[in-house]
């Protein structure tokens, strides 16, 4: 029964991505990218809301964190990456936000147009840095998963990528770490999408202390500063 419900949700989600990318975006071609992001966010909020109503899953956030998220603007958001829909939940929860996406995501049948028009594709790192800086200056949040791919919560070791640190240093903005938990574990890497629990799945989002950023002195290269900042991210998200 729940596998059928999950199938219906993911089919609707995929078809929704096609409709937004192939129908709605062309109609909004003369409107701003901000409105395109707002449309994607609204569709993700609808997805999360419908899941809550049907009992498939819900998102748990404390009242203090919900208020904090509501006023978050122009931050690099860093989070651990457990499941296939972490980015959907974060964009549905946060104000105007985008995310760094892998180049391969541009070839996804269902989401390619959303990725191309709304996300920052990391196929040209220098351009992605500049575009992220421009959006952050406009108050848009940029979401980055430093692990680069889905990783189980009990993974024995992690090697973080430095993209989030490089963006924050380049734009000179703080990072907001968000710790994600999923109970029971579903939609992990290598786990079938239909392997859902016999009870409501709960994603929990917890905001951690912001990580301040300052431009590195001339004597300290950007690479060295990014390595040090990445270690701070690691120590905050995985203490």
Q: What is residue 20's predicted lDDT score, i.e. its pLDDT?
A: 61
pLDDT in tens, 87-146: 999 999 999 999 998 877 777 666 777 777 788 988 888 899 999 999 999 999 999 999
Of 13, 7, 2, 90, nearest in space to 46 by CA: 13
Q: What is the C-alpha to C-alpha distance for residues 199 and 55, in angstroms, rounded to an integer?
A: 8
User: Tokens in use for 2?
Assistant: 């729940």
Asked whether the beta carbons of 37 and 54 are under 8 A apart, the reply is no
Asked if residues 27 and 113 have their Cβ atoms less than 8 Å apart, the reply is no
- Per the structure, the complete domain to which residue 69 belongs is given by 2-237
Q: Provide the pairing of β-strand 97-101 with 120-121.
A: parallel
Neighbours of 233 (CB within 10 A): 21
**What's the pLDDT score for residue 207?**
98
SS3 (DSSP) at 81: coil
Query: Residue 77 above 90 pLDDT?
Result: yes
How many structural domains is the chain composed of? 1
- Give the helix, strand, coil percentages of the chain, each rounded to 5: 50, 15, 35
Residue 154's CATH number: 3.40.1130
For residue range 190-233, list pLDDT tens digits in order.
888 778 778 899 999 999 999 999 776 655 668 889 999 999 99
């Amino acid at each position: 029964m729940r596998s059928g419900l999950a199938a219906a949700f993911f089919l609707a989600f995929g078809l929704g991505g096609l409709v937004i990318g192939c129908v709605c975006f062309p109609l909004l071609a003369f409107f701003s990218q901000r409105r395109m992001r707002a449309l994607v966010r609204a569709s993700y909020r609808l997805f999360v809301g419908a899941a809550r109503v049907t009992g498939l899953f819900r998102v748990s956030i404390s009242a203090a964190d919900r208020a904090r998220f509501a006023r978050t603007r122009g931050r690099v958001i860093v989070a651990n990456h457990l499941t296939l829909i972490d980015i959907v939940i974060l964009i549905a929860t946060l104000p105007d936000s985008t995310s760094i996406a892998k180049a391969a995501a541009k070839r996804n049948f269902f989401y390619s147009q959303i990725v191309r028009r709304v996300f920052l594709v990391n196929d040209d790192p220098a351009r992605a840095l500049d575009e992220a800086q421009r959006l952050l200056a406009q108050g848009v949040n940029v979401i980055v998963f430093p692990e680069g791919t889905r990783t189980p919560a009990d993974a024995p070791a992690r090697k973080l990528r430095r993209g989030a640190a490089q963006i924050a240093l380049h734009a000179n903005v703080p990072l907001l770490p968000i710790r994600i938990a999923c109970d029971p574990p579903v939609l992990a890497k290598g786990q079938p999408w239909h392997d859902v629990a016999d009870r409501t799945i709960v994603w929990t989002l917890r905001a951690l202390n912001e990580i301040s950023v300052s431009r590195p002195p001339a004597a300290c290269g950007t690479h060295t500063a990014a390595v040090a900042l990445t270690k701070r991210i690691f120590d905050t998200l995985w203490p």
